[in-house]
Structure 1
């Protein structure tokens, strides 16, 4: 039987304010007080996994152990069909600036441009289908863990459009829509995103009857 969250404080293993806000909104109805690893001053562990699940578990266990509280992590990324699933688990790495690209940090416009550049090399008929994956991992300080996975399919669009959201949202048009995630109202995006898919599975098991 899967262990259940009992309410109270939950560490969200992220230093990304946008991700904390989105996850916090999804968990608000369930009596959980969400606080980020960044707010607690916890270090970011090195993500050495080769899958979303491995990296999510690394982050969740590190936060749970450091804070001595249950922790929830999210490892998500964009995979492009024509690029053999890249950037995939290296989605955030593609946004990391090299020493010659300015101050340390993540440049998502640069990351989106890398994807577009590789697709452009394949010509005007390149397959632009892609998908966002999300793996949620919950870890407890005693080492227990559980994982939930979600996905949403779409098309890589260029140039970027919209100012809402974060990461690759400005270039992702979900199936059946004509606007990018970054052009959607947050509630509309949350209702259909890869994170929402994973959260629906989490909620059903953690908070369902």
Structure 2
């Protein structure tokens, strides 16, 4: 998946810009959520739905603009263009790419509420998990195929710890141990 994305987007910033431009939400749906659905912040006692719609349309934070009606909505809306709002903001989006040659997933997590946390395993991790049927942790390392900031092919960042697995090789799932492991 990451390789496919890298073909069209040379940097993460390029991908994020394309998503910001195209991942938009109809303003009517945003208004509905803001007007009725958000617990504790409903607006129906303060103004009419149309007043709320107009207020959001004028709010620069919402980035409202007319855009072509998306294909998935054309069964419900006959208009060629509809008012939409931005669902993502530059720098506030985590991009999560997972999978392997047979399973690819890409998820956008807008909103800015994400954290990366380092997890330090004990030095004897491989010995601890071997009785459970797991392979050494090195077999699970991901190999970078491009520089994360510039999208350029790079071998400078390769770790000596990464295995040189052949094409099509991947870690096997562990088998259940024959006997329970005593702690």
Q: Could you state the TM-score of these two structures normalised by the residue count of structure 1? A: 0.22
Higher helix proportion = 1
**More contact order relative to length (CA 8 Å, sep ≥ 6):** 2
- Higher Cα radius of gyration: 2
